[in-house]
């Protein structure tokens, strides 16, 4: 045996090089491969155009990081985090509905090390485990050209939508598959009471062209000229007006605009990774603000302007009490029969 200068023993220099190679290889594997310490995985449920913009900003801000954004539907997003818990590959989650965020708080890290003061305090849970990502409202959206073509009046109330002249020309998301549809249901249950609201939807169903599976379905039907009126998302309608020039208008009835919020969080145990902390800080400061400025300006910050052309201002929101109560949701959806 040969004593080397470091005090270690070995048969020959080649043997030491061989061992060093193995140790370096193990180090790379333990870091998840080359650049593993700089890899950040984000789960999001944002629309494609918003996700693409976020990817561009993240790439420009962190050129040395390997940031992966995985887009999941809201239901799959929540189910995946619930099933995997803190062992999930995700480091950060964005744009998951608040009801799901509340049910998953045990999976999230505390955010006390970040400055939460710019956000509206009523949108931050007592646990401090997540922050709002956006607030989205629903509107009664109509295609001006389609209504004119059909010679139909612009509705002024939910009761107007029951007029037989609209039969086959109204599109609504199905509450069983769409958060947008569910928020319309809850808003009227809160405004009128459960029995009256369900009686109303039974009558409205006679005029419905289609209960769509997604919240964007009604606006897509308006864009394609298949429907004249849709119970849709304000954001989606505004995007269609501004990017495609579709002749859409939005109105809000006296019950107010139904709305939901979504959130963002760090998976517990991942907050100690410097790259994750840096990326999340960028998400909650720059990324989310730019997303509000470009796409969804409804207020989540104390000082939030609305500079988006054609996006409604001064929206009066409906009473959304209990919209995130999962037991109530199960009960209401069991009663929904379409």
Tokens encoding 296? 């969804």
Residue 11 has pLDDT above 90, yes or no: no
How is domain 36-135+260-294 classified at the CATH fold level? D-Maltodextrin-Binding Protein; domain 2 (3.40.190)
| Residue 223, strand partner residues | none
Give domain limits for the chain: 36-135+260-294, 136-259+313-335
CB 111 within 8 A of CB 118: no
Residues belonging to the chain: 338
pLDDT-derived band of residue 317, with 50, 70 and 90 as boundaries?
very high
- What pLDDT does residue 20 have? 38
- The pLDDT tens digits for 269-289 are 999 999 999 999 999 999 999
Which ranges constitute the DSSP H helices of the chain? 13-30, 48-61, 74-84, 98-103, 144-150, 179-192, 194-204, 217-223, 234-244, 274-282, 288-294, 326-335
- What pLDDT does residue 218 have? 97
- The pLDDT tens digits for 22-39 are 444 444 333 433 345 899
Same fold, 36-135+260-294 and 136-259+313-335: yes
DSSP states along 26-48: HHHHHTTSTTGGGEEEEEE---H
CB 257 within 8 A of CB 139: yes
- The pLDDT tens digits for 98-138 are 999 999 999 999 999 999 999 999 999 999 999 999 999 99
Q: What CATH class does 136-259+313-335 carry?
A: alpha beta
Please indicate whether residue 318 or residue 10 has the higher confidence score (pLDDT).
318
Residue 199 has pLDDT above 50, yes or no: yes
List all residues 6 or more positions away from 177 whose beta carbon is below 8 Å from its beta carbon.
Answer: 213, 214
């Amino acid at each position: 045996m040969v004593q080397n200068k470091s005090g270690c023993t070995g048969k020959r220099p080649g043997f030491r090089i061989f061992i060093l190679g193995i140790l370096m290889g193990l180090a790379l594997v333990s870091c998840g491969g080359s650049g593993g310490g700089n890899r950040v995985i984000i789960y999001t449920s944002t629309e494609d155009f918003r996700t693409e913009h976020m990817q561009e900003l993240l790439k420009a801000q962190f050129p040395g990081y390997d940031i992966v954004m995985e887009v999941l539907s809201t239901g799959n997003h929540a189910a995946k985090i619930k099933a995997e818990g803190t062992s999930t590959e995700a480091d950060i989650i964005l744009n998951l509905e608040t009801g799901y965020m509340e049910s998953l708080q045990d999976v999230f890290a505390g955010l006390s090390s970040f400055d939460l003061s710019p956000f509206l305090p009523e949108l931050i849970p007592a646990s401090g485990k997540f922050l709002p990502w956006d607030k989205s409202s629903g509107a009664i959206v109509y295609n001006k050209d389609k209504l004119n073509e059909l010679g139909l009046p612009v509705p002024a109330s939910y009761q107007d939508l029951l007029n037989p002249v609209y039969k086959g020309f109204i599109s609504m998301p199905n509450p069983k598959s769409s958060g947008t549809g569910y928020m319309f249901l809850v808003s009227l249950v809160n405004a009128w009471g459960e029995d009256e609201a369900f009686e109303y939807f039974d009558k409205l169903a006679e005029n419905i062209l289609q209960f769509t599976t997604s919240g964007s379905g009604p606006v897509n039907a308006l864009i394609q000229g298949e429907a004249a009126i849709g119970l849709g998302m304000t954001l989606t309608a505004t995007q269609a007006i501004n990017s495609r020039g579709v002749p859409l208008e939005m109105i809000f009835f006296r019950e107010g605009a139904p709305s939901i919020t979504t959130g963002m969080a760090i998976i517990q145990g991942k907050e100690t990774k410097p790259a994750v902390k840096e990326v999340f800080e960028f998400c909650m400061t720059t990324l989310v603000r730019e997303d509000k400025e470009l796409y969804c300006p409804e207020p989540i910050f104390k000082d939030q302007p609305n500079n988006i052309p054609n996006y409604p201002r001064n929206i009066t929101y409906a009473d959304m009490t209990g919209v995130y109560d999962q037991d109530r949701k199960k009960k209401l959806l069991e009663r929904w029969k379409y």
